[in-house]
Amino acid sequence: MTTERVCLLVEDQRPNQVRMTDALTAAFDNIRIEVAGTVKESRQWLASRASLGFTLAVIDLGLPDGSGVDIIADITGSFPNVTTIVSSIYDDDGHLFEALAAGARGYLVKNQEPEMMVHYLQRIEQGEPPLSPSIALRLLSHFRTQIRPPSDVALTGRETETLALLARGLTIAEVARHLLLSPPTVAGYVKAIYQKLNISSRAEATLHAVKRGLV
Amino acid sequence: MTNRTAYSLKRFQGTNAWKYWLILIIATLAVTTSICVALQGRTFDGAYRQGEQLYIQGPDGTPAVVLALRQPGQTVPFRLQSADFVAQVDGVETYAALDRYTNRQGQLVQILSGRSVRVIFASPGRSPSETERQVRTLKLSSFNYSFWVSLFVGVTAFLIGGWVWALKPEDATTRTLAVNGFGMLLAAVSSCAFYAQPVALSPVMIFASTTLNHLATVIFGMTLVGLFLQYPQRLVSPRQFWLCMATGAPVFLLDLLRLLGGPTGIIGYCFVVILLVIALVGVQFYKSRRSPGARASLIWLGLAVVAGGGSWGVIVLAYLVQGQFHNMPESLTFLSFLLLYGGVALGVARFRLFEVGDWAFRIFFFTVAAALFIGLDAFLVYLAGLAKPSAMALSLLLIAFGYLPVRDRLWRRFVHSPRLNENERLASALDMAFTAQPGERHARWRALLHSLFTPASIETLSSDVAETRIEAEGLHLCVPGLNDMPPLRLSYPHAGRALFSPRDIDLVNQIIRLSREAAAGLQAYERGAAEQRQRLAQDLHDDVGAKLVSGLAIADDAVRPYIYGALTDIREIATALVTESAPLDRVLADIRHETVRRLDVAQIELDWPVWPEDAPFVLLSSLQKKILSSAIRELVTNIIKHARAARVSVRMTVGASRLNGRIEDNGAGFPETVTQGIWNGQGLKNISDRLGQLHGDVQLSNLSPGTVVIFGFPLLTDVKNAEGPIS
């Protein structure tokens, strides 16, 4: 018997809660889903003992008392091993980039056919986070405009190549075929890119804070 | 101009001050000398020269011709001849005549050496009578106007030449020009005794004046040739240059030794110089074909030479044809040299005092008109035998109706580049500011600058330009970056025929200000519109979307797909509202991304080559984007639902001005009704309608096995613009 998987679902709209719960249940065996409707509730749950051992978080951005981005940042800080997924109605860079920079490992477009959602969730869990072409483009320009980045946040040549191909609409499997690599290797690049985005964003935020005299 | 004045003032106070003082002292000396020399000329009370005769005021107040003069006590009076009063000593045709003239002038001076003179004169219709008049020297007020004209020209030429030299003392060309101006001054000073028009001049004075005058003419001629040997481009080595200048010495010696065939030989020399200079201008013009800067000043120079030298030649020839050369008022020819001179000086100094090109042509056209007028007038009077007043009127009419319209046409053809008027300028600036595509906007900005100045080249500058400025004395105009466009440098305006002037700076600044205002207005509008759309998208999604999502919970399996479809449409519309036009490659990347995932879930293989990176840049409007996305989505949905296919291939191509798509599957094929055009399902009907909106089309047909759908729509102007030269 596999160990029970604990998932935090942050979603304020009741119908969406139901549909997301259905999708999660369909995607993973033996999953326990904790639902929170506000930033406050989520933080209370994260601070409680119930959060011990949770591995997955699906977070809506527009919440009644704040932005889901703050919860993502909390989780990334306190629970580095948790896979955080943004659930959004859009998959374009404008809406998702901030959340990805805060540490989300993937995103899920709401209100599509249930089987698509299940498929995405499984892919993320298998280490193949989705990356739409527009987000890939935004990532490329983010890393390109960094001024003298430390080596741990600069993209490698392979990672840049991967992003460029994703930006042209290829899947991770197709990128792997194109670069004569295995799909897990390319998926690894994508995860590394997400991590570097998170690190460089935090560094940038600190820099901004220092500049403004906040730190 | 203000800058230039300040610049010369600064120079004036600097180390070059002594040069300015030197020039001023020489000029003052020249004026004083001229007046003093002219004041030595002898005359007697009431005498004045007109034409080739001497007059006095008769007893009844009417002019009376002086027939002869004698000293009181002298028995035989000295009969005056017309040859005694030639205006142009150089025009005396033979050396014998010149000697006779000098000799008689000597006798006249002798007669006028006493305190008074007996004057024999004849009033019209009366018999000659005699009177005694007081002898005296000339008064300043009685100098002939020729004196003042030639002195003015000489001093002006010298001051111009000297000024240019003092500004650029290190330049060999300006040194030559200064010497040239000095030659002109010397010519004026040496002519003053004649031009003041006394009754008689002493032979010594005649000899000294003509000798000095011929020396000045040789200096002027040689330096004028020398100028065009060096400017704008050096044609000979310094050694050859000095050799050329030295040929002036034998010319002068031959003239002095009376070996030039006659006193008019020096005029012949002047003709040779003018022809040589015109030839040199031709050579320089050819040599400067690859250097628009040199050409800009050369055109000005060449025209000055043609205008000045040409009008001199016309005047001299006109008098020669009439056989009246010795009566030619030489001071007039001085004026034509001033014209030439001013042009040369301006060209050498390359000052941006005004639109040099325009003025060059203007003066050229006026000169042509003047030359034509003189020529016609002379022709009518001397060859067609018309009376003088009617000939003049007729030539005026002919010039007015014949030449002036031609001149206007030439003017438009050569000078008046099609300048945009205020309205067109505004329209162009707005056009540019409102062009969405950066490449095209850049191209329009260049096109606008090109239509304004027709520069020989426009280059992009890497360093920033803070404000519009002129460089290299008008050769270049640096234009600051405008919005997202880089700073530019325009070179050699009007195809190298002119220089940039401060007026052009004002013009560019005005356009830049207009465009910035337009761009700011557009941005404000777009911000407002974007906010509006954002709100619409939000409402659409939150209100309509939320209701549909609630409906999902109670919907049955038959209805649910429609609700999902509606939700996808809402997402699509909301996205289209938020995002405006988008590049084709990004749109295709998004569609491919979505398609490959959907087919992945349905376990259908996709063959869709990635869009080539070197494909032409195409911008899709939000409508085109939305219709293309939903058409492909609908077709893929059909395949997933009905085709039972294992493999789908998609090919997208962009043609001359059309986007084409071809989607093929290896499934069950369309029912016969569909291929016959009866589309029951809403999906296919929708695709057809929507593509129709874009003036596009779709064709469905069956393969064995499978189906093929071919669709496409015109891209209108977008592709054409993208393929056009964007530099």
User: Looking at the structure, do residues B717 and B692 belong to the same domain, yes or no?
Assistant: yes
Q: Which region among B43-47, B218-222, B713-717 has the lowest average model confidence (pLDDT)?
A: B713-717
CB B597 to CB A171 under 8 A? yes
Contacts of B610 in chain A (CB under 8 A): 165, 168-170
Task: Among A71-75, B350-354, B355-359, name the most confident range.
Answer: A71-75
User: Looking at the structure, do residues B289 and B171 belong to the same domain, yes or no?
Assistant: yes
- B394 compared with A183, residue with greater pLDDT: A183
User: Looking at the structure, do residues A111 and A84 belong to the same domain, yes or no?
Assistant: yes
User: Looking at the structure, do residues B298 and B152 belong to the same domain, yes or no?
Assistant: yes
Q: Predicted confidence band at B719 (pLDDT cuts at 50, 70, 90)? A: very low
Of A79, A98, A125, the last residue of a domain is: A125
CB A115 to CB B601 under 8 A? yes
pLDDT at B408 over 70: no
Rounded CA gap, B617 and B619, in Å? 7
Rounded CA gap, A150 and A159, in Å? 16
> What local confidence, expressed as pLDDT, does residue A71 receive?
92
Q: Which region among A128-132, B441-445, B612-616, B655-659 has the lowest average model confidence (pLDDT)?
A: A128-132
Query: What is the nearest CA distance from B638 to chain A, expressed in angstroms?
Result: 15
Q: Predicted confidence band at B105 (pLDDT cuts at 50, 70, 90)? A: very high
> What local confidence, expressed as pLDDT, does residue B100 receive?
92
> Which candidate in A89, A95, A137 is best for mutational testing of the B interface (most B CBs within 10 A)?
A89
CATH classification of the domain holding B455: 3.30.70
Q: Are strands A54-60 and A66-67 parallel, antiparallel or unpaired?
A: unpaired
Which domain covers residue B285, as residue numbers?
Answer: 2-40+145-353
Using an 8 Å Cβ cutoff, are B137 and B42 in contact? yes
Q: Predicted confidence band at A206 (pLDDT cuts at 50, 70, 90)? A: low
Query: What is the nearest CA distance from A208 to chain B, expressed in angstroms?
Result: 26
Instruction: Determine the number of helices (DSSP H) and then strands (DSSP E) in chain B.
Output: 25, 18
CB B610 to CB A112 under 8 A? no
User: Looking at the structure, do residues A120 and A165 belong to the same domain, yes or no?
Assistant: no
> What local confidence, expressed as pLDDT, does residue B3 receive?
46
Type of residue numbered B635: L
User: Looking at the structure, do residues B48 and B36 belong to the same domain, yes or no?
Assistant: no
State how many domains chain B has. 5
**Long-range contacts of A1-6, Cβ-Cβ distance < 8 Å, separation of 24 or more:** A1/A30, A2/A29, A2/A30, A3/A30, A4/A30, A4/A31, A4/A32, A5/A30, A5/A31, A5/A32, A5/A55, A5/A56, A6/A31, A6/A32, A6/A34, A6/A51, A6/A53, A6/A54, A6/A55, A6/A56
pLDDT at B723 over 50: no
Q: What is the pLDDT of residues B565-622, one digit of tens each?
A: 788 778 777 777 766 678 888 889 989 988 988 898 888 999 998 888 888 888 888 7
Q: Predicted confidence band at B387 (pLDDT cuts at 50, 70, 90)? A: low
> What local confidence, expressed as pLDDT, does residue B361 receive?
56
Residue at B539 is within a domain: no
> What local confidence, expressed as pLDDT, does residue B353 receive?
33
Of B87, B111, B142, the last residue of a domain is: B142
Residue A20: CB atoms within 10 Å: 25
User: Looking at the structure, do residues B616 and B511 belong to the same domain, yes or no?
Assistant: no
User: Looking at the structure, do residues B181 and B266 belong to the same domain, yes or no?
Assistant: yes
Q: Which two tokens mark B666?
A: 């290896």
Rounded CA gap, B502 and B474, in Å? 9
Contacts of B578 in chain A (CB under 8 A): 94
User: Looking at the structure, do residues A18 and A119 belong to the same domain, yes or no?
Assistant: yes
User: Looking at the structure, do residues A10 and A113 belong to the same domain, yes or no?
Assistant: yes
Q: Using CB atoms, which residue from A109, A134, A171 is nearest to B590?
A: A134
> What local confidence, expressed as pLDDT, does residue B366 receive?
67
The nearest alpha carbon in chain A to B574 belongs to A90
- A57 compared with B720, residue with greater pLDDT: A57
Q: Using CB atoms, which residue from A115, A116, A170 is nearest to B610?
A: A170
Of B117, B142, B167, the last residue of a domain is: B142
User: Looking at the structure, do residues B225 and B259 belong to the same domain, yes or no?
Assistant: yes
Percent of chain B with pLDDT over 90: 14
User: Looking at the structure, do residues B95 and B196 belong to the same domain, yes or no?
Assistant: no
Residue A175: CB atoms within 10 Å: 24
Query: What is the nearest CA distance from B591 to chain A, expressed in angstroms?
Result: 8
Q: What is the pLDDT of residues B254-280, one digit of tens each?
A: 998 988 888 888 888 888 988 898 899
Coil vs helix vs strand at B70: strand
Q: Which two tokens mark B630?
A: 């939903």
Mean pLDDT of B278-303: 77
Q: Predicted confidence band at A39 (pLDDT cuts at 50, 70, 90)? A: very high
Contacts of A161 in chain B (CB under 8 A): none
Q: What is the pLDDT of residues B467-491, one digit of tens each?
A: 888 887 677 888 888 777 788 888 8
Which domain covers residue A176, as residue numbers?
Answer: 133-212
Q: Predicted confidence band at B727 (pLDDT cuts at 50, 70, 90)? A: very low
Q: Predicted confidence band at B722 (pLDDT cuts at 50, 70, 90)? A: very low
User: Looking at the structure, do residues A201 and A142 belong to the same domain, yes or no?
Assistant: yes
User: Could you tell me the pTM of the whole model?
Assistant: 0.47
User: Looking at the structure, do residues A115 and A175 belong to the same domain, yes or no?
Assistant: no
Using an 8 Å Cβ cutoff, are B451 and B443 in contact? no
Contacts of A120 in chain B (CB under 8 A): 597
Residue at B445 is within a domain: yes
Contacts of A170 in chain B (CB under 8 A): 592-593, 596, 610
Rounded CA gap, B561 and A112, in Å? 10
> What local confidence, expressed as pLDDT, does residue B421 receive?
67
> What local confidence, expressed as pLDDT, does residue B170 receive?
76
**Cα(first)–Cα(last) distance of chain A, in Å?**
49
Q: Which two tokens mark A12?
A: 């304020």
A13–chain B Cβ distance below 8 A for any pair:
yes
Mean pLDDT of B124-134: 85
Q: Predicted confidence band at B360 (pLDDT cuts at 50, 70, 90)? A: low
CB A112 to CB B601 under 8 A? no
Give the B-side interface with A, CB within 8 Å. Answer: 541, 545-546, 549-550, 552-553, 561, 564, 567-568, 571, 574-575, 578-579, 585-586, 588-593, 596-598, 600-601, 610-611, 613
User: Looking at the structure, do residues A138 and A178 belong to the same domain, yes or no?
Assistant: yes
A119–chain B Cβ distance below 8 A for any pair:
yes
pLDDT at B369 over 80: no
Residue at B266 is within a domain: yes
- B134 compared with B670, residue with greater pLDDT: B134
Q: Predicted confidence band at B363 (pLDDT cuts at 50, 70, 90)? A: low
Query: What is the nearest CA distance from B604 to chain A, expressed in angstroms?
Result: 14
As a whole number, the mean pLDDT across chain A is: 83
Q: Which region among B96-110, B433-447, B633-647 has the lowest average model confidence (pLDDT)?
A: B433-447
CATH classification of the domain holding A181: 1.10.10
- B515 compared with B27, residue with greater pLDDT: B27
User: Looking at the structure, do residues A20 and A73 belong to the same domain, yes or no?
Assistant: yes
Q: Using CB atoms, which residue from A16, A115, A137 is nearest to B549?
A: A16
User: Looking at the structure, do residues B724 and B590 belong to the same domain, yes or no?
Assistant: yes
User: Looking at the structure, do residues B341 and B441 belong to the same domain, yes or no?
Assistant: no
Mean pLDDT of B381-392: 66
Rounded CA gap, B694 and B713, in Å? 6
pLDDT at A1 over 60: no
Of B467, B489, B516, the last residue of a domain is: B516
The nearest alpha carbon in chain B to A118 belongs to B601
Of A88, A107, A125, the last residue of a domain is: A125
DSSP state of B60: T
Could you tell me the CA-to-CA distances from B376 to B321, B381, B391 in Å, in that order?
13, 8, 8
User: Looking at the structure, do residues A87 and A119 belong to the same domain, yes or no?
Assistant: yes
CB B611 to CB A19 under 8 A? no
CB B575 to CB A92 under 8 A? yes
Bridge partner residues of B697 (DSSP): B712
The nearest alpha carbon in chain B to A167 belongs to B589
User: Looking at the structure, do residues A161 and A117 belong to the same domain, yes or no?
Assistant: no
Q: Which two tokens mark B556?
A: 């049955």
As a whole number, the mean pLDDT across chain B is: 79
> Which candidate in A111, A117, A119, A172 is best for mutational testing of the B interface (most B CBs within 10 A)?
A111
> What local confidence, expressed as pLDDT, does residue A18 receive?
87
User: Looking at the structure, do residues A73 and A179 belong to the same domain, yes or no?
Assistant: no
Question: Which A residues, 41 through 100, put their C-beta within 8 Å of a C-beta on chain B?
Answer: 89-90, 92, 94
> What local confidence, expressed as pLDDT, does residue A151 receive?
65
User: Looking at the structure, do residues A164 and A203 belong to the same domain, yes or no?
Assistant: yes
Cβ partners under 8 Å of residue A42, min gap 6: A8, A10, A36, A59, A71
Of A91, A125, A159, the last residue of a domain is: A125
CATH classification of the domain holding A64: 3.40.50.2300
User: Would you give the distance in Å from CA B360 to the centre of its chain?
Assistant: 9
Using an 8 Å Cβ cutoff, are B567 and B545 in contact? yes
The nearest alpha carbon in chain B to A20 belongs to B549
Rounded CA gap, B197 and B193, in Å? 7
Residue at B722 is within a domain: yes
**Cα(first)–Cα(last) distance of chain B, in Å?**
35
Question: Which A residues, 183 through 202, put their C-beta within 8 Å of a C-beta on chain B?
Answer: none
> What is the widest separation between alpha-carbon atoms in chain A?
53
Question: Would you put residue B240 in left (φ > 0), alpha (ψ -120 to 50) or beta?
Answer: alpha
User: Looking at the structure, do residues B281 and B427 belong to the same domain, yes or no?
Assistant: no
> What local confidence, expressed as pLDDT, does residue B720 receive?
38
Residue at B656 is within a domain: yes
Contacts of B552 in chain A (CB under 8 A): 15, 19
A115–chain B Cβ distance below 8 A for any pair:
yes
CB A137 to CB B592 under 8 A? no
Contacts of B567 in chain A (CB under 8 A): 111-112
Percent of chain B with pLDDT over 70: 82
Q: What is the pLDDT of residues A128-150, one digit of tens each?
A: 777 778 788 888 888 877 666 66
CB A116 to CB B601 under 8 A? yes
User: Looking at the structure, do residues B339 and B405 belong to the same domain, yes or no?
Assistant: no
Q: What is the pLDDT of residues A154-166, one digit of tens each?
A: 888 888 899 889 8
Question: Which A residues, 133 through 152, put their C-beta within 8 Å of a C-beta on chain B?
Answer: 133-134, 137
Residue at B556 is within a domain: no
A132–chain B Cβ distance below 8 A for any pair:
yes
Q: Using CB atoms, which residue from A94, A111, A132 is nearest to B567?
A: A111
State how many domains chain A has. 2
Query: What is the nearest CA distance from A191 to chain B, expressed in angstroms?
Result: 18
Instruction: Determine the number of helices (DSSP H) and then strands (DSSP E) in chain A.
Output: 9, 7
A vs B, Cβ pairs < 8 A, gives 78
